[in-house]
Chain A
Amino acid sequence: MSTSTTLLALLEPGPAYGYTLKQNYDRWFARRRPLAFGQVYSTLARLTRDGLADQVEVESGHGPDRRLYRITAQGVGVVDEWVFAPEPPEASAAGTLHARVTVALLSGRDPADVLARQREAHLTRMRALQAQRRGSTGPELLAVTYELAHLDADLRWIEESGARLGAVREQLVAAREGDDDARG
């Protein structure tokens, strides 16, 4: 998964401090391994250097400066491209697909389109593998059918997720409304 692009996408709803970004990242994407603060700030520095984000204001106080970041138009373009570009279809390639679908849901892009593009990429690869399988024997046959089985499993997840998008979207909206209420 692209941590920097995912962090960038979390700036789309509005400017945010590094601390809030880390909280949101851990909540939506880092189910097992929370992001280190150091990585958040180094990533934000890099995104700023590359013109994908900029600093809206710097708040000085007793502790370290608090910097409010926002996404640039160029940054939105990078997120757009990343969300909709299918992963190269290979065994266990769906790792970032979950993140791209989540970003699409959070940002108002069409997650069904993300899934449909990936589905087509997977099926294209599977057709090529079927042709290869017909001429394969021995270990090559095992390798080809291994990849086919994994792509098939990815596709089952894509189908299931397509059926769940409506419910997941509602849950995200409810979670966001909860956040807004908490902020007052």
Chain B
Amino acid sequence: MLEADGVTLTYGATTALRDVSLTLAPGSRTALMGQSGSGKSSLLHCLAGVLVPDHGRILLDGQDVTGLSDRERSRLRLERLGVVFQFGDLVPELTLAENVMLPLQLLGAGRAAARGRALELLGELGVADVADSRTGAVSGGQAQRAAVARALVHEPRVVLADEPTGSLDTVNAEAVLDAMVALSGRIGATLLVVTHDNLVASHFDDLVLMRDGAIDSSRTATVR
């Protein structure tokens, strides 16, 4: 369970989040929508422990993560979260496989075991043939599938994605989203995807809309 409890975040004079409360049930799949500047990415970064709110708490399985040190939050992200950004943010000096291996190796897995698991996952995502290519040598769609694999390879409790298909065409976007939904479903992870795209949102069961740094409760729906 991942929760934001009365979260407020400011950037200088600008209030990005105003007293936002949100609960993501275990295994839920939610699209977080809103116009540019509505606060959706700020909320995702707070939930990911990348940003620390000025007020309020972020609770992961009941544990308040806002009081943790940077190092402790990094460790928590590594162990229990998977994050996908719009442009993948893969390490360009590494191959796709090496990028996917990273979380496992940081958690103590041996190189051979990590590579085996990475290749398995890249195969499921249809990019095994470019596993040993560097990110600069593959297409945007292939790199983004590797980013999804990297976010899921260590079977996190929660997967957070910020416009994960924003740089992809419709067909590649569908493939990436299908994979993300299927793989996170298989490991029972909670999935939250930030998007401004209704077609992307239609892949998810729940919909949360943000406006002016707050959740628009009149337009927040759960449809199953």
**CA gap between A5 and B35 in the complex, in Å:** 34
In the complex, chain B residues whose CB is within 8 Å of the CB of A130? 202-203
Q: Please indicate which of the listed interface residues A124, A149, A152, A156 has the most CB atoms of chain B within 10 Å of its own CB.
A: A152
In the complex, chain A residues whose CB is within 8 Å of the CB of B178? 134
Determine, out of A46-54, A90-98, A115-123, the stretch whose residues face the partner at the interface: A115-123
**CA gap between A127 and B223 in the complex, in Å:** 9
B199 touches A126 (CB 8 A): yes
Main secondary structure of the interface of A (DSSP, over half): helix
A123 touches B221 (CB 8 A): yes
The digit string for A34-76, where 1 denotes a CB below 8 A from any CB of B, is 0000000000000000000000000000000000000000000
Answer whether residue A99 sits at the interface, using C-beta atoms and an 8 A cutoff. no
Number of interface residues of B (CB under 8 A): 15
The digit string for B24-53, where 1 denotes a CB below 8 A from any CB of A, is 000000000001000000000000000000
Q: Please indicate which of the listed interface residues A123, A134, A149 has the most CB atoms of chain B within 10 Å of its own CB.
A: A123
CB-CB nearest in chain B for A125: B202
Q: Please indicate which of the listed interface residues B198, B201, B203 has the most CB atoms of chain A within 10 Å of its own CB.
A: B198
In the complex, chain A residues whose CB is within 8 Å of the CB of B199? 126, 148-149, 152
B202 touches A126 (CB 8 A): yes
Answer whether residue B219 sits at the interface, using C-beta atoms and an 8 A cutoff. yes
A120 touches B221 (CB 8 A): yes
In the complex, chain A residues whose CB is within 8 Å of the CB of B205? 127
In the complex, chain B residues whose CB is within 8 Å of the CB of A127? 202-205, 223
Number of interface residues of A (CB under 8 A): 19
In A146-160, the 8 Å CB interface with B consists of 148-149, 152, 155-156, 159
Answer whether residue A133 sits at the interface, using C-beta atoms and an 8 A cutoff. yes
CB-CB nearest in chain A for B219: A116
In the complex, chain B residues whose CB is within 8 Å of the CB of A134? 178
**CA gap between A123 and B79 in the complex, in Å:** 34
Q: Please indicate which of the listed interface residues B174, B202, B203, B207 has the most CB atoms of chain A within 10 Å of its own CB.
A: B202
CB-CB nearest in chain A for B221: A120
B221 touches A126 (CB 8 A): no
In the complex, chain A residues whose CB is within 8 Å of the CB of B218? 116
